Structure 1
């Protein structure tokens, strides 16, 4: 028996490779499926099944491409509704992988079709369970992602309670828990820092598995649940209805465009420039109007939250990072990359084209400027919960995820001096690029963000004040 968790930090996603006696199965694969086929090849194994715990909302799964390239069937749990060629398993149905057995446990709650897969070893003993978004380390899947129908969040939460009580609680304490996500994922409220656990540990520490009534559970799971990212419904639809093969997406996107051609492409309707270079490099100079989302951060998530799926994307990348940029965009459903700037930003600059910059300032400079500039506005782009926990007095909270809404900028004047910050500096550069794109050029990016600001002698408060 061989099991490997394939974890992708930037989207907090875990896929799994299971193998026994020359046969293997893949659970919840990402769209770039080459890694799974390569593993199977290196281990002289044949991919026999592809299992999906549910229709994912936070990434585009690789189930279709992997099935086409290997011939392995795609297996979903009960209540799956799709026109795709998949096998819809019954609750309790079992699949043989070499000497191992994988049993389907239907666990509706996160979604109606959500299912877990219980792996039994060569002796028939329960070894581990792949819980998808039903059970995380320290949390459970959010119950507000129902697509269509009349089912409510509370009704899904009630189903989740029943699923946990009937399918998880009876399992032995030593059964290993392998979830689909880890810390930072938006598929739950507050996932723990580990990416696997045991049933026993979760019975002791997970709030959702403590003795409680169904009513108390529903309240605990739904209270304080932030709105899901805007791209979640798009990814669910893609996973249900299908998508273009990644090889074709790459073929279209990996077009090196000269500066002149790039400029012509920029003038087309429904086209924007995305710069994937490091945030600290972007501020020093960029193509005017570019949106910065650096590959060094949670790139795909912020792309999904902020960019339009209906527009063509022109890329400016660090040389050699073009394919990575396209693949990581494709993971959350962006297939309309129209090409990249050949030679990157340096080619643009060396051609004598107009450039733009963002002024970086240290936190101590902000501290010195606050008392002397009556037009100074501190723009805090962290989440509301982060902001409420401590912020510069009178700072305006514009959460980055909401900054594509022009109405939020209505109270900012051209004469205002904007000092933009986040927690550490990644999100504030994205925010600054969006502000620049919307016509606000009198701004500065505070290096080190809140981490450095709170070290200064600046008045801090903890009351929430959101610009509207």
Structure 2
């Protein structure tokens, strides 16, 4: 049997394509069906099953579309409930695929229906496990996303997860390969490795959650410690994954329509969001007044999901030429299906028709250092990195205003003050500044290259955090 991991870096998500002797199975597909259909056509195989490890929170899956196009059976673990046709698999149930078997292991904890799929070859040898969000490389899935008011607490789910790992996964052979649904950068865990697969034996040695002598109480405490607030779109994606959504092809068709200036200008006045997905350098130089920036060259979809609260928000795109379809596709992966097109000719068309533009003043780390020294350090510096990054090391006079919480905290900013804004490398700061400007905060200056540039190119005073103790 052949296994291919299809890894999507901007979501830190892994789907899987497995085929053997004319039959194939897909595990945890993304919204778009083309990657799986193309592989099946290339290998002259029929997609027989679409396995879901759980109802995903951080992306919208393409299982319903894929099933319609292939006739494949959708399979979820025990207890799953959805508004489409699927099969509720049973614990230890086996599904033949070509010369091998995919065995469902019910592993609740991340969610109640969470399941791990064990691939067994024709010689009855356990080859690999597809663990979804139950077990990551270096971490385990967070148990706080499926909490139900009056029914389950995060501690209840953490206890389920403890026993799932020890009763179902850890007894498997050490040479079994672990294939998770996510890698570093995903908000579905807190300490994931940059590696996207490993042996189970090595994970037993290095993954804190698989420590052999760990008690249930220790596991619960450690798994729940340090969890950040989940992005606001997670619960919305779960609901979409339980329902039937617009077909991906129709979303692409609508979102890639070329629009003229008069239409875009009218829609902006009606409250349609103009989303600029070019590079941060292009945006700071000149952009449509009132538009916001989230560039395709960074963690585009997660930041859209974190910062654009209305998942049904109508969006008009400003794109680099030829990137329109990519932008719409990446929006749809997290359920933002209401892109209504892109402005043909972009910012230049807007200017040519008399539309107002704006810019963000941008300075180098060296210029920032000179200004800081001239003002005796008495300037307003906003560090928009995550709290953990800030705690690790930051400028002495910087205030932490994480981009993640900008919508909730924007009232903290004073329209009469001038702010110098930086992140780690220059991407998140421009997102922050664009939203602030759209909210009427205009005295804002971007520090290019972020904290990395400041650290490497200046001698400004910094404070490092020293951890007093380590959880064991």
Q: TM-score range by the shorter chain?
A: over 0.9
Name the SS for the 1:56 alignment partner: coil
User: Conserved in 1, the CA contact under 8 Å of 2:319 and 2:346?
Assistant: yes
1:416-427 superposed matches below 5 A: 416-427=417-428
Name the SS for the 1:105 alignment partner: strand
Aligned match for 2:396, one of 393, 398, 405: 393
1:463 Cα deviation after fit: 6.8
Distance in 1 (alpha carbons) for counterparts of 2:400 and 2:113: 38
**Residue of structure 1 equivalent to 2:215:** 213
The alpha-carbon distance between structure 1 residues 253 and 220, as it changes in their structure 2 partners (threshold 3 A), is same
Distance in 2 (alpha carbons) for counterparts of 1:114 and 1:302: 26
- For structure 2, list consecutive stretches of 5 or more residues without a partner in the other structure: 467-472
User: Conserved in 1, the CA contact under 8 Å of 2:372 and 2:378?
Assistant: no
1:377-416 superposed matches below 5 A: 377-405=380-408, 408-416=409-417
1:279 Cα deviation after fit: 1.2
Distance in 1 (alpha carbons) for counterparts of 2:68 and 2:402: 41
Name the SS for the 1:66 alignment partner: helix
User: Conserved in 1, the CA contact under 8 Å of 2:312 and 2:337?
Assistant: no
1:409 Cα deviation after fit: 3.3
Matched, 1:91 2:94: no
1:121 Cα deviation after fit: 0.4
The alpha-carbon distance between structure 1 residues 383 and 375, as it changes in their structure 2 partners (threshold 3 A), is same
Distance in 2 (alpha carbons) for counterparts of 1:411 and 1:172: 54
1:83 Cα deviation after fit: 2.7
Count of aligned pairs: 461
Q: What is the aligned-residue RMSD (CA, Å)?
A: 1.3
Name the SS for the 2:285 alignment partner: coil
User: Conserved in 2, the CA contact under 8 Å of 1:375 and 1:416?
Assistant: no
1:462 Cα deviation after fit: 4.2
1:289-438 superposed matches below 5 A: 289-307=290-308, 308-373=310-375, 376-405=379-408, 408-438=409-439
User: Conserved in 2, the CA contact under 8 Å of 1:3 and 1:17?
Assistant: yes
CA-to-aligned-CA distance 1:170-211 (integer Å, 9 cap, x gap):
100000110001111111111011000011011111100002
1:3-402 superposed matches below 5 A: 3-149=3-149, 150-210=151-211, 211-269=213-271, 271-307=272-308, 308-373=310-375, 376-402=379-405
**Residue of structure 2 equivalent to 1:440:** 441
The alpha-carbon distance between structure 1 residues 400 and 123, as it changes in their structure 2 partners (threshold 3 A), is same
1:225 Cα deviation after fit: 1.1
Distance in 1 (alpha carbons) for counterparts of 2:128 and 2:99: 15
Name the SS for the 1:49 alignment partner: strand
1:368 Cα deviation after fit: 1.1
1:345 Cα deviation after fit: 1.7
TM-score by length of 1: 0.96
